[in-house]
Every structure is written in structure tokens, then in C-alpha cells.
Amino acid sequence: MRSAPQRLSQLLLSLMLLSQLCSGIKWLALSRTPTFLHVNQTQHCKRLEGLVSSQVQLCRSNLELMHTIIQAAREVKKTCQKTFADMRWNCSSIENGPNYLPDLERGTRESAFVYALSAAAISHTIARACTTGDLRLCSCGPIPGDIPEPGYRWGGCGDNLHYGLVMGSKFSDAPMKMKKSGSHANKLMHLHNSEVGRQVLQNAMEMKCKCHGVSGSCSIRTCWRGLQDLKDIAMDLKTKYLSATKVVHRPMGTRKQLVPKDIDIRPVRENELVYLQSSPDFCSRNDKLGSVGTQDRQCNKTSNGSDSCDLMCCGRGYNPYTEKLVERCHCKYHWCCYVTCKKCERTVERYVCK
Ligand SMILES: *[C@@H]1O[C@H](CO)[C@@H](O)[C@H](O)[C@H]1NC(C)=O
Ligand SMILES: *[C@@H]1O[C@H](CO)[C@@H](O)[C@H](O)[C@H]1NC(C)=O
Ligand SMILES: *[C@@H]1O[C@H](CO)[C@@H](O)[C@H](O)[C@H]1NC(C)=O
Ligand SMILES: *[C@@H]1O[C@H](CO)[C@@H](O)[C@H](O)[C@H]1NC(C)=O
């Protein structure tokens, strides 16, 4: 048993350590903003959860954007959890914001992914909100200068990537730009990974077209430049997460920079995610490292990917259970024109980790 003063000093020490870390994703707690709160008055800004002072300022001067930013925070949470549903680390601790567990506070590969996704998502959501007319201060993206192929013409309303990038980075990078918060190494890491997220977003601009012409003959296509869905951008970032580079904070020339830890002497690449702290294997519960473990997680007996029972359960084995599925079946087409179906029950076997 440790004495009370000992425990107190340990608590103070861990609080000091935590305050040295820069948490730039506390704004994701906006995902819990109650839907009845319409942020349309400057005094609402102080009531929003997770904003640092410069973000409260941005809120006051860009009230119109806040609804979109709250939506972006919800998208980040949903997309992160979906993208990692088949992994041991399943992004569950994003629910804990603004006080994250150590998996997102320690400068790990996981936090690298979440910063990159957050930066991409906020700009993505703003760029799309310009297009849908939700924002008064921006509208469609510019019409591209080059002339498309014959039979194609520019039209419609493109996503306003430029406005999304400008306003999104202002808001999501604000915590890392504050003088007093966090260690230099962590800020550099978070800023770098946020930039990687925005770069993946920029590469996700593609030509989208709609067909016109007599009875859908598609003799003329109207095209615009639009962004891929956030889930596709998240998949690109997941690939980068899997091959992320461990870095150290070292003097390079006159300043301290992040450089790859391994012997290959090269600067950090602009398109790679970087992290400072290694992650645990997330097999078992470890509160100090922010691992909730994989006990009771569903696994897939026939898969040989990361969601296979072998990998997901870390060799501990798994328990089967059965689940009843109700499906539409024996569907019949009636002339003309409707379909009737019966409901069938089917039992499937599922597995959860021991
Ligand atoms: C803010 O929004 C609420 C709910 O939509 C509305 O009742 C209120 O009048 C609005 N206030 C202002 C100043 O626009
Ligand atoms: C992630 O895993 C934890 C631990 O097994 C579980 O409690 C949680 O429901 C999972 N979250 C999601 C979004 O699947
Ligand atoms: C399990 O994995 C297999 C092979 O990857 C896949 O076809 C199947 O749909 C998965 N089952 C579930 C329940 O996810
Ligand atoms: C799964 O394993 C089988 C046999 O080892 C292999 O042929 C197959 O390519 C693997 N599939 C994946 C998705 O790794």
C-alpha cells in the first residue's frame, strides 16, 4: 500500500506529464453537442466542449461555420470507428474526448491516424457544405480551366476544396499553434500528420459526371470536380497508418526536427504518417497505455485478415454464440409492377474473443 501523499504526488506527476502533451483533437468532443443547440450567437461559443481559446475566437468570428464543424467531428468519430472495426484498436477511446485515453495522448501511430483524419474531415465537410449551399460565405469551387473531352462539359457545382482547406486548417491546427501548450515534438508530429491528411484529401478530388441526352443516351455529360467520400479517404490513411514511420526529435541544422528513428538518414516524407511512441499490441487491458483489450470483441473464423479469430483474440481462443437473422426471401414479382417477399429466419454462428 502506498501512502496518501505518495499517491498524491504520483497524481500530480501524471497531470504534469499530461499537460505537457499537446492535445489538438479535443474539438472532436463537439460530436457530443446536443442537436438542439443552434450555434447562432457568439455567447454560444464558450459553451461548446473541447475548444481552446483561439478556437473560441474563430467560433465567434465564423459562427456560420460551427454547424459544419460539429458535423465534421461526428464524421471523424463514425469514420474512425468504421475504418478500424476489424482491428484490435477500434478507435473506441475517441468517445472519451476531450479527455482522451493514453492511446490518443501519447504521440502514437493511432493518434497520427486520428489527427490526419480529423484534418481531412473538417476540410472535407466545409468543402461540401459550400457546394450544398449550407454556407453563405462560400459557394461552388472554381470551374477548371482545361477543356474536357468532346461530349463532356463543365457544369454543376464542384466542391470548394480551397475554402475547405483554408478554414479547416485554421480551426483544426489552432491548438498546435498556441505558444504555451504541449511539447515541441508533439506539436510538430500533429502538424505534420494533419498536413498528410489534407494532402490525401487534395488527391481525393476527382471528376464526377452526370449523363444527359435523349432517354439517358449519355450523349452529353456534365462534369464537375468533387471529393471522394470520407470513408475512402480514411482507407488511404489506414494504409499510411500501417506503414507509419517512427521518428525522434533531433537537432537538424539550427533547429530541432522530427527525423526517422531508423538508420536511414533522410528527412521525413511529406506523405507518410509519423509517430513518436510505440503502441502496445492492444491484446489485453492496460489503462496506462490506453488499451481496452479485445475480450468480447467479435471475430471472424473464416477470415485470415486482422479480424480473424486468431489475430483478434491474440491466441486466447474464442466463444461461439448464435444469432438469428431475419431476411426477405421467396420474393415474387407481380405484373405490373411490384414485388412481395416473405420473411425468413436464419441462424448464424458468431464468435467473440475469450
Ligand atoms: C438561433 O436559433 C434558434 C433556433 O433555431 C432561434 O430560435 C433563434 O431565434 C436564433 N437566434 C438568432 C439570433 O438568430
Ligand atoms: C471496441 O472494442 C471495445 C472493447 O472490446 C468495445 O467495448 C467497443 O464496443 C468497440 N467499439 C466499437 C465502436 O466497435
Ligand atoms: C468473414 O470473413 C469472410 C472472408 O473474408 C467474409 O466473406 C465474411 O463475410 C466475413 N463474415 C463476417 C460475419 O463478417
Ligand atoms: C488467406 O489464406 C489463404 C491460404 O493461406 C490464401 O490463399 C489467401 O490468399 C489469404 N487471403 C487473404 C485475404 O490474405
pLDDT digit string, tens, across residues 107-116: 999 999 999 9
- Confidence bin at 171 (pLDDT 50/70/90): very high
Calpha distance 124→129 (Å, rounded): 9
Which strand (E) or helix (H) includes residue 229?
none
Q: How far is the CA of 66 from the centre of ligand 4 (A)?
A: 46
Q: What is the pLDDT of residue 6?
A: 56
DSSP character for 272?
Answer: S
Q: Are 219 and 151 in contact (CB under 8 A)?
A: yes
**Which one of 77, 78, 80, 92 would you pick to mutate in the ligand 2 pocket, going by the greatest count of ligand atoms within 8 A of its CB?**
92
Among candidate residues 110, 116, 107, 113, the one with its CA nearest the CA of residue 281:
110
β-sheet with 245-252: strand ranges across = 255-260, 245-252, 274-275
- Confidence bin at 237 (pLDDT 50/70/90): very high
C-alpha cell at 290: 490506453
Mean of pLDDT values over 224-237: 97
Ligand with minimal distance to 292 CA: 2
Among candidate residues 211, 210, 200, 205, the one with its CA nearest the CA of residue 225:
205
Q: How far is the CA of 76 from the centre of ligand 3 (A)?
A: 25
Q: Is the CB of 243 under 6 A from ligand 4?
A: no
Q: Which has the minimum average pLDDT: 35-39, 61-65, 191-195, 284-288?
A: 35-39
Identify each DSSP E strand in the chain by its residue range.
Answer: 152-154, 205-212, 220-227, 245-252, 255-260, 274-275, 285-286, 291-292, 298-299, 318-334, 338-353
Among candidate residues 246, 261, 114, the one with its CA nearest the CA of residue 105:
114
Average pLDDT over the chain, rounded to an integer: 90
**Euclidean distance between the first and the last CA atom of the chain, given in angstroms as a whole number:** 31
Mean of pLDDT values over 71-93: 96
**Total count of residues recorded for the chain:** 354
Q: Which has the minimum average pLDDT: 6-15, 176-185, 320-329?
A: 6-15
Q: What is the pLDDT of residue 36?
A: 87
**Which one of 82, 303, 325 would you pick to mutate in the ligand 3 pocket, going by the greatest count of ligand atoms within 8 A of its CB?**
303
- Confidence bin at 5 (pLDDT 50/70/90): low
Q: Which atom of ligand 3 is nearest to the CA of 350?
A: 13
pLDDT digit string, tens, across residues 273-311: 999 999 999 999 999 999 999 999 999 999 999 999 999
Letter for the amino acid at 44? Answer: H
Nearby residues of 38 by Cβ (< 8 Å), 6 or more positions away: 67
**Which one of 77, 81, 90 would you pick to mutate in the ligand 2 pocket, going by the greatest count of ligand atoms within 8 A of its CB?**
90
Measuring from atom 2 of ligand 3, which residue has the nearest CA? 303
Structure-model confidence comparison of residues 190 and 22, the more confident one: 190
Q: What is the pLDDT of residue 252?
A: 79
Q: What is the pLDDT of residue 19?
A: 45
C-alpha cell at 94: 475517441
The gap from C-alpha 42 to its chain's centroid, in whole angstroms, comes to 28
- Confidence bin at 242 (pLDDT 50/70/90): very high
Provide the percentage of residues in the chain whose pLDDT is more than 70. 93
pTM: 0.88
Q: Is the CB of 302 under 6 A from ligand 4?
A: no
Structure-model confidence comparison of residues 26 and 219, the more confident one: 26
Q: How far is the CA of 292 from the centre of ligand 2 (A)?
A: 8
